[in-house]
Structure 1
Amino acid sequence: MPSDDSGERAEREHRPSPIDVHVGARVRLRRTLLGMSQEKLGDALGLTFQQVQKYERGVNRIGASRLFDLSRVLDVPIGFFFDDMPDALGGGQSAARRNSFGFADQQDGFDDETLHRRETLELVRAYYRINDASVRKRVFELIKSLTPPD
């Protein structure tokens, strides 16, 4: 008698794809860096905050047109959502392609946890609240000058 694996197959189909989880985490990262609530992001996209939560957890897959809308609202290139993807999930492209956000490659001692610290989020939010681009550039140069040489 053939085995019925439909229950096992159904369970696998309901688990979020690791790629969807990664893209959702990048949506959450950018939203929090901007100091934007799930509700505000949902309003900008015509969604409920619960739908935004499902996208961020990877439970709901983000389609191409929605990804385009997210990139516009969050002010990042579409490639941002795929940056830092583990090699096992299809990452490992060239650094120029992988790092489309314009930052240098990841440095020793700097990991994804650094991006989630309150201090980092507050610093980034304060930096982007500086309206004058020339002042923002001088602040950036000041911070770089205070760090130890590579």
Structure 2
Amino acid sequence: MTLVSPLIVGIVYCSLMSLVKEPHRRHFNAIMVGGAGAAYLSGGGFGLWELPFVALMAYVAYRGLDSWTFIGIGWLLHTAWDVAHWLKGNPILPFAHNSSMGCALCDPVIALWCLCGGPSPTALVRRRRKPGRTTDPVHDHASVPS
């Protein structure tokens, strides 16, 4: 459950966020990744190195206001920071020893969704169904060369 729960949290996050209409969805996610950059400040596991990381994440979040790619990159940077804190033994939640590892499992799920453009459920369905084609590739005569 320690490994599966964070993945479920990532999927639930993406599912709920996909219901928010654009451009608010991208803007809100840029703010979220910016906030994630400051998550370790109170623990200070890496001393002054926490500050340049916050600055980097603030820049990435700012660029994320106009780019899903930057938001995805931000979540991947946060994943690396989670792993570093987990290895050092300085968890994101001081009362939960494996919380940084859980965060490191959750964040790439969110990053992948962001790198795909933060699609809504209807956009995902539209991508799967292309006009004039069936969803069954065996019986899809449109894809068979003439």
TM-score by length of 1: 0.27
Larger RCO (alpha carbons 8 Å, 6+ apart): 2
